[in-house]
Structure formats: structure tokens, C-alpha cells
Amino acid sequence: MVRVKLDRVSKYFGRVRAVDNVSLEVMDGEFVTLLGPSGCGKTTMLLMIAGIYKPTKGRIYFDDEDVTDIPPKDRNVGMVFQSYALYPHMTVYENIAFPLRIKKLPKSEIDRKVREAAKLLKIDHLLDRKPGQLSGGQQQRVALARALVKEPDVLLLDEPLSNLDALLRVYMRAELKRLQKELKITTIYVTHDQVEAMSMSDRIVVMNEGKVQQIGTPDEVYRNPSNIFVASFIGTPPMNLIRCTYDESRNVLKCPNFEYELPSAWREALSSRTSDELVLGVRPEDIEIGVESPNAKARVLVVEPLGKDVVVTLALDEETSIKAVARAGTQLPTGEVTGLRIPLEKVHVFDGKSGRALI
């Protein structure tokens, strides 16, 4: 129940810049997800917020208090570690009770809270076991119970659902989200799984190589990616990125085997480009296949059925292929040439050198 603010925070390990100049403000009771590829500094961020690592540069605030030099025990954060980090010599019960015992709560209250948390996470039948006797998913839920039971001001979750089966994961997602809203705990959540990020978060922070790429609501990040990295990272199958050259005099993009006409209103936005190398971005689900007046023609390479949709891989020329999503049942014999429409209102244009979104 506090506002967490990172002010130009960096963490270097020798020459490795694990986190590089990150500024972020997480509102009271907000659910923010850190999303990014392996090694981009997500865990390091959480450990700095928890107070385990001291930032190399920058300050961290809880509400308006500077907590940069406050030890972890005085921050009242709950954390689920990526490795679970259960205490191997304690039973599940003792593990969950541990933060409460440190706080010296009365025994009866501890007992009530532990059983409540265990029940919520469906581990109440495992209370007498040692962590070594649990499956990965069960251990993960014990770690979650231990983080929740102390009713922290800030909840830090490092991939807390990665080891659960699909069904349990959906249940836990909903349960976690409900609990978080109910208790209004400020939550910072780390995941690789963009579906999880999309469905749970108020806002998403997309990171790469220690730097923040974009901060926004799931919708914003999906609809208006601020650069090529975000565009390619969010969405499955990922956005098609087609390398083109810009012909300013005619205001068209010269792409492999087709030309894409741009509206004159875009001229101004494109004038900030660093070179004529531009990248045309369009999501597979926005491409229309087999239309009357196509923007481009392409040859069908592969058709992969995916339940209610099919994913079609198409070749624009020898080197460039793109993916499109069509409704199941669409007749598309491989090898056949088909017409594509790329709707103007759905395309993105990125700077080929800097990767920045221009449109």
C-alpha cells in the first residue's frame, strides 16, 4: 500500500550493466509487470526494490521516503524468488509462518493466517512436509503463501507461476489478481509470458538489456509499440517487420516485390528519420489474404492450423517471408500466389537505424 518510485536507478556488476538508468513510478495498489527476455535485468530490479542490492546509481522511494539505504527487513516487502528459496530445514507450515514469527505475532494468530494462506493456495494438505518432498509447482505455491501471509506493502513476484500446469496457472492468475485488488497491494510482477502480462497487469514495463523500452497499459504496448524491440516482443505470432526504403519524392515505401503508398499527412512524421531505411510493421492478424485489390502479392509457403485460426507463412520474395492469420477453413493451397491487403490504419513505420517508431 505504498507508491514505489525508482529515480534513474542503475546497477552494474563490474562491466555488466544489469539495470541501466531506469525511472519508474508504480502507483499505490497498482499491478505492474516487468516483461523482457532472459538476462534483461528483471530480477536485479526486484532485488533492488527489496533492498538486497544497493543501486550503483539513483534513488528508490516508497511513498516519499527515500529507502535506498534502508535494509530489507524494514521495508515490509513480500517476495517470491525465481528459485522459490524455501527454507529446506523447515516444514511447509514453518516456512509460511516464518515471517510472522519474526514479527512476533501471537501463536493463535499465526496459526490462523498460515492455514488461511495455505487453503487459498491449495497446499493445506502439505503443511507437515519438508520442501524437498514437494513438486516444483507445490514449492512455488508455498513461496507465494510465505510472501502473501505477512500482508506486505509491496509484493515482488519473480515468475511465480512458471512451474504450474496450465489449469492451475489460470486459476492462480485469477486468484492472485483478485487478492491483489482486494488487499490493494502494490505489486511488481516479473514474467516471460506475455499472455500473463497482458491479462493481469494495469501497466507493463518492457525491458531489454537493462533499459526500459516502453511503459504503458497492455493495450498501449500492443497497439502503439514505441520501437522495433517492443513490436517484435509483444504478440504471437510476432509482428511482421519488412525492411523497405523510402522514396521521399513519391512518398512511397519500396518493399520487397511491392510498393506501399503512404498518405501525404505522414511526410512530416517521417522527416525525423535518420535515413531512408525504414521498417514497415504489420501484425499477422491485420493482414487480409485473397483480396480483390491487393497491396502486394505473395506465394503461400506453409499453412499451420491453430484451432480456430490458421497461421499462413507467405514469401514476398526469395529472402523475405511474412506471417498472416486467417480464419480456419480458408482454402490456401501451398505454392499458390495470393493477394494481400495491408490496411493503412494498422501499419507501423519504424526507423531502420534507431528502431524508433515514426508512425
Ligand X SMILES: Nc1ncnc2c1ncn2[C@@H]1O[C@H](COP(=O)(O)OP(=O)(O)OP(=O)(O)O)[C@@H](O)[C@H]1O
Kindly list the residues in this chain that would bind another protein in the complex (CB under 8 A).
47, 50-52, 71-73, 77-79, 81-89, 98-99, 102-103, 130-134, 136, 139, 146, 150, 163
Q: Which residues, in sequence order, are CB contacts of 268 under 8 Å at separation 6+?
A: none
Residue 141 binds which of Mg ion, another protein, ligand X, none (CB < 5-8 A, kind-dependent): none
Considering only 9, 40, 100, 185, the residue that binds ligand X (CB under 6 A) is: 40
Work out whether strand 240-247 and strand 252-255 pair parallel, antiparallel, or are unpaired: antiparallel
Residue closer to ligand X, measured from CB, 16 or 328: 16
Say how far apart CA 160 and CA 46 lie, in whole Å. 13
Residue closer to another protein, measured from CB, 6 or 97: 97
Residue closer to Mg ion, measured from CB, 2 or 80: 80
Please report, for residues 87, 126, 148, 172, 174, the alpha-carbon distance to residue 120 in angstroms, rounded to integers and kept in the order given.
Answer: 21, 13, 10, 10, 12
Residue 254 binds which of another protein, ligand X, Mg ion, none (CB < 5-8 A, kind-dependent): none
Residue 134 binds which of Mg ion, ligand X, another protein, none (CB < 5-8 A, kind-dependent): another protein
Say how far apart CA 22 and CA 14 lie, in whole Å. 18
Residue 50 binds which of ligand X, another protein, Mg ion, none (CB < 5-8 A, kind-dependent): another protein
Considering only 4, 20, 31, 44, the residue that binds ligand X (CB under 6 A) is: 44
Query: Which three three-digit cell numbers place residue 105?
Result: 505475532
Which residue's C-alpha cell is 522511494?
A: 61
Q: Is 33 one of the binding residues for ligand X (CB under 6 A)?
A: no
Say how far apart CA 186 and CA 27 lie, in whole Å. 7
Q: CB under 6 A: which stretch of 41-49, 133-141, 232-240, 346-354 binds ligand X?
A: 41-49
CB of 62 to another protein, least distance (A): 14
Say how far apart CA 177 and CA 168 lie, in whole Å. 14
Cβ–Cβ < 8 Å for 206, 231: no
Which stretches of the chain bind Mg ion, using CB under 5 A?
43, 82
